Amino acid sequence: MKRRNFLTTATLGAAVGALATPALAQAAAKVSWRLTSGFPKSLDTIYGAAETFAATVKDATGGNFEIQCFPAGEIVPMPEASDAVAGGVVEMTHTASYYYWGKNAAFALGTAVPFGLNARGINAWHYHGGGVDMMNEFYATQGLIGFPGGNTGCQMGGWWRKEINSVADLAGVKMRIAGIGGKVMEALGVVPQQIPGGDIYPSLERGTIDAAEWVGPYDDEKLGLNKVAPYYYYPGFWEGGPSLHFMINMEKWNSLSPEYQAIVKTAAAMANGDMLAKYDARNPAALRSLVAGGALLRPYPQDVLDAAYAAANKLYVEFSATNPDFAKIWASQEAFRNEANLFNQVAEYTFDTFMIRNRPKG
């Protein structure tokens, strides 16, 4: 069996093990890249996915392909990462595609849009629904190629200084929220602010913003957001399963050998699954800790969810009417989501609901 074919069919562990052979290591070219992250190093789970990726690539090539990771802002600020990669300042980035939706709304669909796919759904769409190819057709117009590189699972709805009882309470609230989620919240009266993760705490503490969403219990506790806003809302309907990406300069990608390209894809897939598993393992204990420390859990009122859902669908119609990239990708995602939810309603939802009802209390 040819090594390239083996990579496309073997399991991740077997692929990495098979490639890390002395023969390959001795024959392979030396490659050294830099990766600029969209996240601060203090957030070990989300930033750590880049380190997992880089270590896997290094191990699989016997140390011949090294990727050095830099936290957001050390080389370029987070908002400039995709441009820096496309322009050849750095070879690649690990980021959320939706950070760049202001350039083209289609960027958001690589990560998450309000009321879109959950984590399992977007992974299924990426890998078996044509999503990777569809996103890369779009990324190619930006001088990039990308591969899924992590997921947080459904996020929380953020930290608020005041309690939200209806849509009326959202008027004029300055909220840190990224992506198209900010546009939807704007339709409900919120004033969205796009602020890097490392700047959220001081912005809330100083009162520059009134509310902020980041990820979920594990990261939010690390950032200390519970210390500057008491109300913790759920669910983060704008990010039901946000997919991060490893974005690579197209020319640099094309310069890699087929074997190295296969290793990069394999390492990205490993980091993608590992990051979600880490969040699933760490969020429950963090949520307990936050509540024990005084965080006040609140569900979003039904009228907020209904208004946001209507605003999101209206926005998708508007984007689709003027942006063929968005229209094509959203049509695929929407159809995939609707089919996935048909099965989820029958099996996943009923099982999860039963088990949650019978969860030991305390």
pLDDT tens-digit series, residues 268-324: 999 999 999 999 999 999 999 999 999 999 999 999 999 999 999 999 999 999 999
Contacts of 349 (CB under 8 A, 6+ apart): none
Mean pLDDT of 29-58: 96
The CA-to-CA distance between both ends of the chain, in Å, stands at 55
DSSP lists the bridge partners of residue 249 as 144
* pLDDT, position 179: 85
Q: Does the residue 83 lie in any domain?
A: yes
Q: Decide: helix, strand or coil at residue 27.
A: helix
Residue 106 gets which letter from DSSP? G
Q: Does the residue 100 lie in any domain?
A: yes
Q: Does the residue 147 lie in any domain?
A: yes
DSSP annotation string for 184-241: HHHHTT-EEE---GGGHHHHHHHTS-SEE--S-HHHHHHHTGGGT--EEEE--TT-SS
* pLDDT, position 362: 62
Residue 361 gets which letter from DSSP? P
Residue 156 C-beta-side C-alpha neighbours within 13 Å: 29
pLDDT digits (tens, 9 = 90+) for 53-63: 999 999 999 99
Range of the domain at 267: 3-153+242-280
* pLDDT, position 27: 60
* pLDDT, position 74: 96
* Contact between residue 43 and residue 279 where contact means Cβ atoms under 8 Å apart: no
CATH number of the domain encompassing residue 62: 3.40.190.170
Mean pLDDT, the chain, rounded, equals 93
Q: Does the residue 191 lie in any domain?
A: no
* pLDDT, position 12: 43
Q: Does the residue 133 lie in any domain?
A: yes
Phi, psi of 148 (to 5 degrees): -55, 135
Candidate from 14-23, 121-130, 227-236 with smallest mean pLDDT: 14-23
Pairing of strands 65-70, 31-37: parallel
Q: Does the residue 236 lie in any domain?
A: no
Q: Does the residue 194 lie in any domain?
A: no
- The Cα–Cα gap between 90 and 36 comes to 7
Q: Does the residue 174 lie in any domain?
A: no
Whole-number percent of the chain with pLDDT over 70? 92
Pairing of strands 144-151, 211-212: unpaired
Mean pLDDT of 10-35: 60
Rg (CA), the chain: 21
Domain count, the chain: 1
